[in-house]
Structure 1
Amino acid sequence: MVIGNGTEALFWEDRWLNGRSAGELMPMLYNCIPKRRRKTRTVAEGLNGNAWARDIQGVLGLHEIGQYLQLWQLVQQVTLTDAPDQLISKWTTSGIYSAQSCYLATFQGSSQSYSWKLIWKAWAPPRVKFFHWLANLDRCWTADRLARHGLQHHPRCLLCDQAPETIRHLMLDCPFSRQAWHETLAWLRIPAPIPNQEPTLMDWWQHAKDDTPQAQRKALQSIALLVPWLLWKHRNSCVFDNATPSLDTFVNRIKEEADSWAKAGAPGLRVVLPPSWDVH
């Protein structure tokens, strides 16, 4: 708030003291001001005869007195003019508020992630996208998460029986999963590498996309969602139904589901399905 005549700016609430408010600069003194007075006292009223000092109520300690003296020094340097008060937006170079600048300000300090492009922009049933959203946040009930919560869990991955089960292991590192990735990509003739030490599924997809021709990238995107989803379901069958892991059964399930997705509207899969699986 740039002060002019002081009739619009609030003494205790607005940021008119070198871009800061009295509440930010003197929080303990600010707590001594009644709420109704904070919301009504303007700068012009407060500076008139130092009326702001009479807003203070209660017993003041050393910290409150110190902040009172600091505020006294600051307000003595303020001179009112005939110009109106002006509210300046710090999120625009012009200082004029816009809805766009407000929206962009909500992302200040946030980190960018490209995972949303794979999860929410690809064609897939909503339940598959929801699963990947949870998996990306490590919120699936894999053995490691069950262990962190003190719940009963299998000591090793049920698909390979070689390593502890984490969401990363299940999707990328498990020998069962890696073989499934290899056979699926070979079946669709997508020249993308299988997962290999990437930190996350999203990192693998981003890397594999660069090695995939433009015409096949939508198919890769669909497969990047389909295979982990069916891996999770196959894993759940082993956990809850005592099913035995079967790579042949699993790969056939991938082929059937890919055909169903293509018929339902996945444009990328229509392009790469082998002739014997052509969708009409």
Structure 2
Amino acid sequence: MKWMWKLISEPDSTWSSTIHLLYGTTDIATLSLDDRTSAAFKDILYYRDFFSISINTMGGTQGPVWKWSTTGNYSSASTYHILADPGLRSPYHSILWKLKVPPKVRIFLWLVLLDRILTQQNLMLRNWPTISTCKCCSTDCLETSVHLSIECDFAKQIWTLVRSRFNLSPLSALDLHAFWTHNRTIIDDLWDVIWAASIWAIWKERNRRVFSSRSLPPAMLMAEICATIEAWKRIL
């Protein structure tokens, strides 16, 4: 990238003059490869499609502008950053992976926030034979990640107990992401662990009902959440 940048930004340089002498042009788009082309120059031109979309050619004396740099000048750091960019980022990825909870719980929470856990809704989308209703409440609501975690009558009972046990103010529940991130701005760092342990416990209770036909009342599940929080605080 740097050598191609020199071709268009330093037309009077020895490098540009040499390329013009050898190939009759320094126009990257029209430079053709033949038997005379060295392996090194072929490697340079291999990236010219990306290079072409990375520059803005301005009129006047300003010259070319490198899109990926705040200064408009080429830099290896800006090029590496854009080439190594994984694409769209989750707004919560940077804090989720730092939670002081077991790795498997972090992965589970990531799937919950992406709505990828195997709720009845997602099982139906995969054409698995299943019923659509939630196992944790008596309504006919479709079991989704949001419903199971914060909207279900059973989940609401759990969150009421959580709020009472840890002396929390009323919890807003717009969506799973907002429910977590909004409340972490008004509650201390313990909220992350409380939130994780509660979501994890609700999911395990759901699976207990689905696969074992057993259930725990809200008070016992609350005791399980408290025990989980204490265990995580000791080992993490």
TM-score by length of 1: 0.61
Q: Does 1:183 align with 2:161?
A: yes
1:210 counterpart residue number: 185
2:138 counterpart residue number: 161
**Structure 2 residue aligned with 1:21, among 17, 25, 29?**
29
**Following TM superposition, by how much is the alpha carbon of 1:9 offset from its aligned partner in structure 2, in angstroms?**
11
Give the Cα–Cα distance (whole angstroms) in 2 for the partners of residues 158 and 102 of structure 1: 51
Q: CA RMSD in A?
A: 3.3
Give the Cα–Cα distance (whole angstroms) in 2 for the partners of residues 132 and 41 of structure 1: 47
**Distance 1:244-1:7 versus aligned 2 partners, 3 A rule:** same
Aligned residues: 199
1:242 counterpart residue number: 213
**Distance 1:112-1:149 versus aligned 2 partners, 3 A rule:** closer
Give the Cα–Cα distance (whole angstroms) in 2 for the partners of residues 225 and 195 of structure 1: 16
Residue identity (%): 24
**Distance 1:40-1:264 versus aligned 2 partners, 3 A rule:** closer
Give the Cα–Cα distance (whole angstroms) in 2 for the partners of residues 221 and 157 of structure 1: 26
Asked if 1 retains the 8 angstrom alpha-carbon contact of 2:205 and 2:215, the reply is no
Q: Which is worse superposed, 144-153 or 89-98?
A: 89-98
Segments of 5+ residues of structure 2 without an aligned counterpart are 42-63
1:5 counterpart residue number: 17
Segments of 5+ residues of structure 1 without an aligned counterpart are 24-29, 43-86, 266-280
- Report matched runs for 1:248-263 at 5 Å: 248-263=219-234
1:271 counterpart residue number: none
Asked if 2 retains the 8 angstrom alpha-carbon contact of 1:122 and 1:222, the reply is yes
Asked if 2 retains the 8 angstrom alpha-carbon contact of 1:144 and 1:164, the reply is yes
SS, match of residue 152 in structure 1: coil
Give the Cα–Cα distance (whole angstroms) in 2 for the partners of residues 218 and 96 of structure 1: 42
- Report matched runs for 1:1-280 at 5 Å: 1=4, 2=8, 3=11, 4-7=16-19, 17=27, 21-22=29-30, 90-92=67-69, 93=71, 95-99=73-77, 101-106=78-83, 110-162=87-139, 163-191=141-169, 193-196=170-173, 198-199=174-175, 201-212=176-187, 217-265=188-236
Give the Cα–Cα distance (whole angstroms) in 2 for the partners of residues 8 and 121 of structure 1: 53
Asked if 2 retains the 8 angstrom alpha-carbon contact of 1:172 and 1:195, the reply is no
Give the Cα–Cα distance (whole angstroms) in 1 for the partners of residues 193 and 37 of structure 2: 56
Give the Cα–Cα distance (whole angstroms) in 2 for the partners of residues 103 and 184 of structure 1: 46
Higher radius of gyration, 1 or 2: 1
How big is each residue's C-alpha offset from its partner over 1:78-125, in whole Å with a ceiling of 9 and x where there is no partner?
A: xxxxxxxxx9854332624233x2343248795553322442121100
Residue type of the alignment partner of 1:236: N
Runs of 4 or more, structure 1, over 6 Å off, are: 8-11, 36-39
Asked if 2 retains the 8 angstrom alpha-carbon contact of 1:178 and 1:194, the reply is no
How big is each residue's C-alpha offset from its partner over 1:138-188, in whole Å with a ceiling of 9 and x where there is no partner?
A: 211100011111112223111013111001111111111111112112211
Residue type of the alignment partner of 1:130: I
SS, match of residue 121 in structure 1: coil
Give the Cα–Cα distance (whole angstroms) in 2 for the partners of residues 38 and 98 of structure 1: 25
Asked if 2 retains the 8 angstrom alpha-carbon contact of 1:10 and 1:38, the reply is no
Give the Cα–Cα distance (whole angstroms) in 2 for the partners of residues 156 and 262 of structure 1: 35
How big is each residue's C-alpha offset from its partner over 1:197-242, in whole Å with a ceiling of 9 and x where there is no partner?
A: x13x221122212332xxxx21001111111111111111111111
SS, match of residue 123 in structure 1: coil
**Distance 1:166-1:10 versus aligned 2 partners, 3 A rule:** farther
2:46 counterpart residue number: none
